[in-house]
Copies of this chain bind each other. A is one copy, B any other.
Amino acid sequence: MSEQRIIRPTPISGFPEWTPRVRSVELRWLDHIRRGFERYGFSSVETPSVEALDVLMSKGETSQEVYTLHRLQADADDDSDARLGLHFDLTVPFARYVAQHFNDLVFPFKRYQIQRVWRGERPQEGRFREFTQCDIDVINVDRIPVHFDAELPRIVHEVLAGLDLPAWTLHINNRKVLQGFYEGLGVTDPLAVIRAVDKLHKIGADAVRDLLVGQVGLSPDQAAACLELAQIRGDDASVVDEVAKLGVAGETLSSGLDELGGVLDELSDLPPGSVVADLSIARGLDYYTGTVYEAVFDDDPGYGSICAGGRYENLAGQFIRRSLPGVGLSIGLTRIFAKLVAEGRITGGRFCPTDVLVVLPGDERRAAALAVAAQLRERGFNTEVYHQAAKIGKQIQYASKKDIPFVWFPPFEEGRPHEVKNLATGEQVEADPASWNG
């Protein structure tokens, strides 16, 4: 074997992979998040990893990040896989799913979806090419009450509160406020302003002002008002008054302010600072039409959003002649988890789920060891039998290396008592496999 050529495996940039102890923590997180979503009655949905390209690109703007699939040895005339791409988020596939399975669903349809997504980005800190997102969305026919815009941050807050994360804040805004305000100022292309202001955190106020005046064609006064709006922050409905003070009015603006104030009111029982209205955030994606969310770590906002989402009026409507508005919020599991791993904050996982290692005293006792193990498993303990007769010290060392808390000693001969050793305390006592409780 050592004569053959060795293909030395190396990590593939942007595609994270964890050792078993780290993976055991990730699995605990995934279970916890799923459990949190199910507590609120959300149904599990999974969609294929691929979508037709015209579905993926129906909103166009993210096309450059899509990975397409090709059969390595496809016949030249075989285009059966042509125009398939890996999904880059779970919102577009979910909108397609709702349209496709419309008659099998009950509305308002509340679903969670925990899956990998792929983006052909250049890897950098916090950016992955394959990562797991945990999404909750609600889609309804015709109209979706704004209460859902409050319920989603409540659920995500409750879920993430159980994961011992560094402090983070959910920033919330409403695209109607932005659009209505810009329209009220007499701006003709509010979407261009939204795209410019969305860069505020990255490029700063002066550069945004230059963009607004130089590129979008605003007057200096209009640009100043846009930047004033973007400075507004607050964790309660008082932000609504602050916007009103800027002296711009209009129907879309006041509708947006009503929604924003309503959501903040409904979330006022969360710990102070959990949710902050931030009139600068817009989310780049064109499909958001109302509430938008973006969460960042307080001590490292530049790392990028760890949760994001918003309300979309027309995403599923691309696929069916029905009005199917929705609102969704996505937890960027891999982005959060990978940062904590990189910073050494995640260390505590066990190498394996085994509770008890049953020692194999000798090959002639294998049947007895297997029987004890079966009995312990039946009683709810994850149990391994050591695979071969070996020195007891070696078997205990195996348990210790694998973080197995208990080592079980079946009797060397029939009729003698069983014993169990607690590796944390070193204590070893007689025990009955029918009644031992760990």
A84 cross-chain contacts in B, Cβ below 8 A = 12
B353 lies within 8 A of A43 (CB): yes
Tell me the minimal C-beta distance from A424 to chain B in angstroms: 18
Which residue of B has the minimal Cβ distance to A20? B43
* Residue A434 CB within 8 A of the other chain: no
* Residue A342 CB within 8 A of the other chain: no
A402 cross-chain contacts in B, Cβ below 8 A = 106
Q: Which of B18, B55, B70, B401 contacts A67 (CB 8 A)?
A: B70
Which of A92-100, A189-197, A201-209, A244-252 makes up part of the contact surface?
A92-100
Bitwise interface map of A from 50 to 79 toward B, beta carbon under 8 Å scored 1, else 0: 111111001000011111111111100000
Count, chain A residues at interface, CB 8 A: 100
A286 cross-chain contacts in B, Cβ below 8 A = none
Q: How far is the CA of A51 from the CA of B10 in the complex (A)?
A: 10
Bitwise interface map of A from 354 to 391 toward B, beta carbon under 8 Å scored 1, else 0: 10010000000010000000000100001110011000
A313 cross-chain contacts in B, Cβ below 8 A = 1
Q: How far is the CA of A156 from the CA of B71 in the complex (A)?
A: 32
Q: How far is the CA of A67 from the CA of B85 in the complex (A)?
A: 11
Which of A33-41, A163-171, A217-225 makes up part of the contact surface?
A33-41
Q: How far is the CA of A8 from the CA of B320 in the complex (A)?
A: 7
* Residue A317 CB within 8 A of the other chain: yes
B387 lies within 8 A of A108 (CB): yes
Bitwise interface map of A from 38 to 49 toward B, beta carbon under 8 Å scored 1, else 0: 111111111111
A105 lies within 8 A of B20 (CB): yes
* Residue A81 CB within 8 A of the other chain: yes
B67 lies within 8 A of A7 (CB): no
B69 lies within 8 A of A45 (CB): no
B55 lies within 8 A of A66 (CB): no
A124 cross-chain contacts in B, Cβ below 8 A = none
Q: How far is the CA of A319 from the CA of B63 in the complex (A)?
A: 36
Q: Which of B54, B145, B353 contacts A388 (CB 8 A)?
A: B145
- The complex is assembled from copies of this chain, and their number is 2
Tell me the minimal C-beta distance from A82 to chain B in angstroms: 12
A74 cross-chain contacts in B, Cβ below 8 A = 120
Q: How far is the CA of A2 from the CA of B317 in the complex (A)?
A: 8
* Residue A116 CB within 8 A of the other chain: yes
A116 lies within 8 A of B319 (CB): no
Tell me the minimal C-beta distance from A325 to chain B in angstroms: 10
A23 lies within 8 A of B40 (CB): no
Interchain residue pairs with CB less than 8 A apart (19):
A1-B323, A2-B317, A7-B54, A7-B58, A7-B319, A12-B48, A19-B104, A20-B45, A23-B43, A41-B354, A41-B404, A42-B353, A63-B72, A68-B72, A70-B70, A106-B398, A110-B352, A110-B384, A147-B366
- 9 closest Cβ contacts across the A-B interface? A41-B354, A15-B48, A71-B120, A41-B384, A64-B73, A38-B353, A20-B43, A9-B100, A43-B352
- A residues contacting B by CB (< 8 A) are 1-2, 4, 6-13, 15-20, 23-24, 27, 38-55, 58, 63-74, 80-81, 84-86, 96-97, 99-101, 104-106, 108, 110-111, 116, 118, 120, 122, 129-130, 145, 147-148, 313-314, 317-321, 323, 351-354, 357, 366, 377, 382-384, 387-388, 398, 401-402, 404
Beyond A68-B69, A69-B86, 10 additional pairs, beta carbon < 8 A: A13-B80, A19-B104, A27-B44, A39-B382, A39-B383, A40-B382, A41-B354, A42-B353, A71-B120, A110-B384
